[in-house]
Amino acid sequence: MKKRLLIAGPAAVIASLVLPGFALGAEATPILDTPEASINAMWVIVAACLVMFMQAGFLLLEVGFSRAKNAGAGVAKILVNFSIASLCYWAVGFAFAFGGTGELIGDHGFFLNIGSSIEQAGESIPFVATYNISPAAFMFFQFVFCAVSLAIVWGATLERIKFSAYIIYAVIFSAVLYPVLSHWIFGGGWLQVNIGMQDFAGSTVVHLIGATGAFAALLLLGPRIGKYTKDGKPRAIPGHSMPLVGLGVLILWLGWFGFNPGSTLGAIGGRFAEVVVVTNLAAAAGVIAAVAVMYLLSKTIDIGMAGNGAIAGLVAITAPSGYVEYWAAPIIGAIAGVIVVLGVIAIEKIIDDPVGATSAHGLAGIWGTLSCGIFTSPRLAEFNEVGDPGLWYSGSLHQLGAQALGVGVAFGCVFVVSYAVFALLKHTIGIRVTAEEEDAGLDISEHGMYGYPEQFIPQPEYSTGLQFGSGLPASSTPAPAAAVNPMTTTES
């Protein structure tokens, strides 16, 4: 610690001369050693861990919405994709997203090679200095967002996509596509600075981008076998476990308390606690609205739609969570709950999205981003120093226009790139398993084992001491050496 003080001291002086915005911790004391910086790092890492845990939520949600023959595939997918994103985002993604204030792309901080102190890192990553936060904490927090966005892409492609398609798209997505878009909207790029687009935690950056990738994949992938009747009507293909779906939704809901409140990038002043309340209000309103609308349509309390309602409410409040007052949150969440139900039913008529990601993350993400243009309060627009108050307060459509432009640009860019990548993959290695493999299930055809073996392979009863082949008729066959499952054959 002493040593770092000696090195960092002069650096802070130099940095404060070079960067005017750096004057936050104006004394000679290095910012890293202030209690404030430590508290910020602590909160942001806790929040990042909550967001990382959302991977478990996506896993359970997707596995629950799959049939039992595809239950294991989701596990391999989440683990491999998260790991690819971990390496790619550290290597280049973070630098493209936050390495400097270029309008289009960042160019500092590859491999996080920016020094460990806030002073050193602040020169290449301005946010580190502005928010007074450890560069490692900041990078890890931004990485888990990228991983969430990538996970959203794949939920829609369940039960028929080839594993190799995941790997190639995951590299492109986490190294370039997501970082560039997040630079434009989060990292000081043109949409944030020049247009004043407000997106607090990523209704557009994380959720719409992920859903847009999913949409592009779905157009090229086609529906699962048996999804549509001969006259084109959608059929239900029920997922195998609603309890897993429910657990997945609740884990995502919990993770969102890191997602939005963590985007304060600091704990000083307690602003993050208000964001927690805003987030929860929207999720609750999303559930109630989705259940109510579904009940009016089908006279059932639909379990899956209750879950989609929660996710839609959370996705919608993600952009405005740092910009709106409490009263606006239930309105934003409830409208998202209505949108997701109508969206799922409408989208299902043309494309097969087993988890409803294009509705819950896409349509609700668009609504959430636009809702800033209506509900952003003057106090919080000023606090965040991005954009203007919304229509409700200002009577002006200006902010709504900025939001709409941001949505259009993000959707357009991600769609074009994703469609091109998936089209290329489709015409080279292929993105879909064969019909035979799809019928058998991805577990056995792609992963060589079943997610639930007992369902497909007979098991012996509880009787370990029995010796088979020892009875009548008298025979010279030796008894098996050990009590093995007589219904399966093991090869070594």
Binding site for other proteins (CB under 8 A): 234-238, 294, 297-298, 300, 302, 304-305, 308, 341, 344-345, 348, 356, 471-473
**Residue 187 vs 239, nearer CB to other proteins:** 239
3-state secondary structure at position 259: helix
Chain centre distance of CA 260: 12
Terminal Cα distance for the chain, rounded: 55
CB of residue 238 vs other proteins: minimum separation in angstroms?
5
CB of residue 299 vs other proteins: minimum separation in angstroms?
9
**Residue 167 vs 466, nearer CB to other proteins:** 466
Number of H helices, E strands in the chain: 23, 0
CB of residue 236 vs other proteins: minimum separation in angstroms?
4
Q: Which residues contact 299 (CB under 8 A, 6 or more apart)?
A: none
CB of residue 438 vs other proteins: minimum separation in angstroms?
19
Alpha-carbon gap, residue 73 to 404, rounded angstroms: 37
**Residue 237 vs 250, nearer CB to other proteins:** 237
Alpha-carbon gap, residue 480 to 356, rounded angstroms: 51
Q: Are 125 and 98 in contact (CB under 8 A)?
A: yes
**Residue 246 vs 356, nearer CB to other proteins:** 356
DSSP character at residue 173: I
CB of residue 313 vs other proteins: minimum separation in angstroms?
17
Q: Are 362 and 211 in contact (CB under 8 A)?
A: yes
Chain centre distance of CA 55: 8
CB of residue 348 vs other proteins: minimum separation in angstroms?
6
**Residue 260 vs 359, nearer CB to other proteins:** 359
Residue 183's CB is within 10 A of a number of other CB atoms, namely: 28
Alpha-carbon gap, residue 142 to 112, rounded angstroms: 12
CB of residue 211 vs other proteins: minimum separation in angstroms?
17
CB of residue 154 vs other proteins: minimum separation in angstroms?
18
The DSSP secondary structure of 14-59, one letter per residue, reads HHHHH-GGGGGG-SSS-GGGSHHHHHHHHHHHHHHHHHHHHHHHHH
**Residue 262 vs 356, nearer CB to other proteins:** 356
Residue type, 32: L
**Residue 167 vs 297, nearer CB to other proteins:** 297
Residue 484's CB is within 10 A of a number of other CB atoms, namely: 12
CB of residue 228 vs other proteins: minimum separation in angstroms?
10
Is omega for the bond preceding 20 within 30 degrees of 0, making it cis?
no
Buried b (16+ CB within 10 A) or exposed e, 37-66: beebbebbbbbbebbbebbbbbbbbbbbbb
Return phi, psi of residue 38, to 5°.
-70, -40
CB of residue 233 vs other proteins: minimum separation in angstroms?
8
**Residue 229 vs 489, nearer CB to other proteins:** 229
**Residue 301 vs 424, nearer CB to other proteins:** 301
**Residue 401 vs 486, nearer CB to other proteins:** 486
